[in-house]
A and B are shown apart, each in its own frame.
Chain A
Amino acid sequence: MSTTTTTTTIAATDVELDAEGFFVRPEQWSEPMAEELARREGIETLTAEHWQVIRFMRTEYLAKGSGPTVRVLGKTSGVSIKRLYELFPKGPAKIAARIAGIPKPRGCI
């Protein structure tokens, strides 16, 4: 993986993203950025369910130092695997992590 980072403006604030579009510094994230980040991922509007997942991703990351995988999300976020893929068709953990401003979750399962 490349270590190059880029600076992008999200919701009128400069943030640092890695080569894959994940926040390098999660503390740069704030809730008003989520809608714009979601649109970059092809999600037009964030529903309450999207937010449930996004907040869960952040809480888990801040508590444990890494974001949850899809399996963990399915077991503990209160949203089923099936629904997670409907909400984030391009990969729930990966896309929600980008929108939640945290690094990419690592884990094979």
Chain B
Amino acid sequence: MKVLVTGASGMLGGYVARALRDAGHEVSAFQRRPAGIDGVADITGSLTEEADVRRAVAGQDAVVHLAAKVSISGPEEEYRKINIEGTRHIVEAMKAQGGGKLVNISSPSVAHFGQSIVGLGTTAPEPERASSPYARTKAAAELVAMAADGEDGMLVTSIRPHVVWGPGDTQLVERIGGRAKQGRMPLLDEGNALIDTIYVTNAADAIVAALNRIDEVHGESFVVTNGEPRTVRDIIGGFAAAVGAERPTLRIPSSVARIAGRIIERLWEIRPGYDEPPMTEFFAEQLSTAHWFDQRRTRERLQWTPKVSIDEGFEILRRYYSTRSR
């Protein structure tokens, strides 16, 4: 099958492109600069340019759409252009050539409105209630993508991976690790809130599974996680330990949480153009409230289970960073 992957220069996008390639698909990657993945053809261009998108989509049987605007700065209009309009361009281009399979990569934040999430399933995106420009525009984008399902030969599903991490993750792992090495990684209260995360190859597998199962699961959205929620303390500790730092013990009581929020905001500053979910307010919230999901439907519908457990993931990380630092 000919598959186009948008946003293949990001960590997850790269894993997805390689996984599809390894599964025997003819894979192309679409982004502004070449992704440089062995065995994956590069198509450069911009999501905001309809013509670029049409060119990339031409002749593809399927599209895995990961590219998104995730910067913390900039007016909401920019998010709209990339996240909503970009998705619309993909959908229109696919429809124009008679349809195809679309796996739209979304985010659990599209259905998250600030409260804690304790064992919930996948719920509907609500752009009006989502809390950040990123979440609002991703919610609208998911609605655009899902609305196309069944129209003009389209089969669409959305996958919402929750907090993806893995080796080479400059965002979460290396930032937390680096900060922990300086002894400046705080925990809110005791860091007891349970959060779900997903090891990157599991997320890539889930996306490939969604493409394989799209005849059965089109029209449905799925939150995907490792199904092993851990306390924030445990996750942050695991990242820190993997890069050879002490597990953070510095506790900030929630009475000074607002200040902590600011620290975290700086901590999670995002480099512009990086194709991963923003880690500012989003993760700050995660540091103090539970976010974990019921994975039973996801696993049953996608016929997928994570191959790498959280603890195994930590071990892979540890080896990765210990060889790198030598």
Task: Indicate, yes or no, whether A interacts with B.
Answer: no
